[in-house]
Amino acid sequence: MHFDPEKLRSYFAGGDGEVTLGDLDLERIPSHVTIIMDGNGRWAKARGLERSAGHVAGVDSLREAVTTSVRLGLDVLSAYAFSTENWRRPQREVDLLMHLFATTLVKELPLFRQENVRLRFFGDLTALPKDTYDVFRQGLEETRNNDGMTFALAVNYGSRAELVRAVRSLAEDVRAGQVLPQDIDEDAVSRRLYTRDLPDPDLLIRTSGELRLSNYLLWQLAYTELYVSEHLWPDFDRWEFLRAICSYQKRDRRFGGVVAK
């Protein structure tokens, strides 16, 4: 994906005292970065606020992450917004999140237009409240002709459920005689995942210092580099994003072999 060198320079002008654009190898920008946004609740608690205030602040971080990704020329930015397990949170918080997803998307449509960003979702959207679902459909519709970066949000997503769904669909096709068991290979499984049209992530960033995958993209992360940020999600900014990518660029990706691909 191409980026605008002028916009990139002014976006990262100055540095934050620790990292500057000069630390980055512009020839080795990852194609797909995915983020587990974690720590909204703790961020709010530390300020004596309700958890919802953390989610609201998290929206600003997500907006900045989208802009940073466009400036860097990523092909795909994806983020874990709501897991299949998140329904267990207090109803008030679930309602707030669903409302926030819908209102944020509507508000950000001009940004997606301006930055040529195409929106995608992965997860089981059928279980969402109707107004949230309708806004998602509208977002998909309004950005479908954008051919810049893809911004993919995981909503009501769980990796095990995704794999079960893929296995079930393969089993049905075997039963119908459309697929032979011996023809089932890694590609056949990948093609039945929600992420079938996305490249596997090159880099996973998880914020708030937690060392867990939390049922996120278990198949797709097989060879992904990991970066755990100590920042709580609302504190995650373009500089921490830059540090994550600089760290990624220092890795020797061998994909199980002996030399980097």
Which residues are near ligand FPP by CB under 6 A?
37-42, 55, 58-59, 62, 81, 86, 97, 100-101, 104, 153, 233
Nearest-CB residue for ligand FPP: 41
d(CA 61, CA 200): 23
**Shortest distance (Å) from residue 191 CB to ligand FPP:** 26
Cβ proximity to ligand FPP: between 101 and 194 the closer is: 101
Q: Give the residue with the Cβ less far from ligand FPP, 127 or 167.
A: 127
Question: Three-state DSSP class for 156?
Answer: strand
Query: How far apart are CB 11 and ligand FPP at their closest, in Å?
Result: 21
The two three-digit tokens of residue 46, written as one number? 């530390």
Residue 206 phi, psi dihedral angles, 5° rounding:
-120, 130
* Contact assessment for residue 240 and residue 208, using Cβ atoms and an 8 Å cutoff: no
User: Nearer to ligand FPP by C-beta: 55 or 192?
Assistant: 55
Minimum CB distance to ligand FPP smaller for 2 or for 88: 88
Residue with smaller CB distance to ligand FPP, 3 or 82: 82
Q: Tell me whether residue 81 or residue 242 sits nearer to ligand FPP (CB atom).
A: 81
Residue 37 CB burial class (10 angstroms; 0-12, 13-18, ≥19): buried
Residues 120, 150: contact at Cβ < 8 Å?
yes
Residue 15, phi then psi, degrees to nearest 5 = 85, 175
Q: Which of 23, 75, 86, 124 is catalytic?
A: 86
Strands laid side by side in the 225-228 sheet: 118-122, 150-157, 76-83, 32-36, 203-206, 225-228
Name residues whose C-beta falls within 8 Å of residue 126's C-beta, 6 or more positions apart in sequence. Answer: 133
Residue 145 annotated to the active site: no
Q: Is 38 a catalytic residue?
A: yes
Task: Tell the smallest beta-carbon distance from residue 194 to ligand FPP (Å).
Answer: 16
Number of C-alpha atoms within 13 angstroms, CB side, residue 211?
0
| Beta carbon of residue 101, minimum distance to ligand FPP (angstroms, whole number) | 5
Taking the complex as a whole, the smallest distance from the CB of residue 100 to ligand FPP amounts, in Å, to: 5
Residue among 4, 16, 25, 38 flagged as catalytic: 38
**Residue 57: CB minimum distance to ligand FPP, A:** 8
Tokens for 36? 């587990």
Report the b/e string of 134-155 with b at 16+ CB within 10 A. Answer: ebbeebeebbeebebbbbbbbb
Q: Please give the positions annotated as active site.
A: 38, 86
